[in-house]
Amino acid sequence: MLTEYKLFFDDELGEFVATNVETGEIRRFTAAKKTTSSRTTKKKEDENPNPQITLEENKYKLNSAAVALMGVEPEDKLTIKMRKINGTMVPVIGTNTAFKIKDGNRLTKSFTVACRGANHDALSTYGTLFDIEVNNDLPGTFIMRGDNGPVIVNDENIADVELPEDLNVDFSEVSEDSDIEIDGSVFENLLGDI
């Protein structure tokens, strides 16, 4: 035998009310809540309010505060350059657009960037945990302060080397404030057995 009911939903109580059309009998029930699988895990939220970058084995990772400060998104290209600031060499990070270059490594969805080989070794001299701060000298770039401290540059200890007269190298556009980077191997190849 089929019994006809009218079904209503009570917003205040969050339950369904079924009323028997013939007898007026009322039945109340709640809908079963959808359960989530125990296999799904919620991503751990980064609660550190200080913008920091952590150097790992073959990459570096930006925390949420660093991502917000830098205004970067996944797929942006980031690069790190060494700059002399107040007599010390410090790593400076920014997008390829801020440095006005085309190269750089892509930021992943988990806010990591590849960093291997010589670049990793150079950065590791400054430490593995970096606080970042706005670089007022170049908009869109940020100074990285490592937990090992800065590398002090002492210009007095740099020896002058006399170059052979037949060596054809033009350094006219290279200055202390120049963005041109010259790898030490370039000099090794040019100078040979001097």
Instruction: Report pLDDT digits (tens) over 67-101.
Output: 999 999 999 999 999 888 887 888 999 999 999 98
pLDDT digits (tens, 9 = 90+) for 153-189: 555 544 555 555 565 555 555 555 555 555 555 555 5
- Considering the domain architecture, whether residues 74 and 139 belong to the same structural domain is answered as yes
pTM given for the model: 0.56
How many domains does the chain divide into?
Answer: 2
Strand partners, 15: 10
Structural domain harbouring 94? 52-152
Same domain, 77 and 132: yes
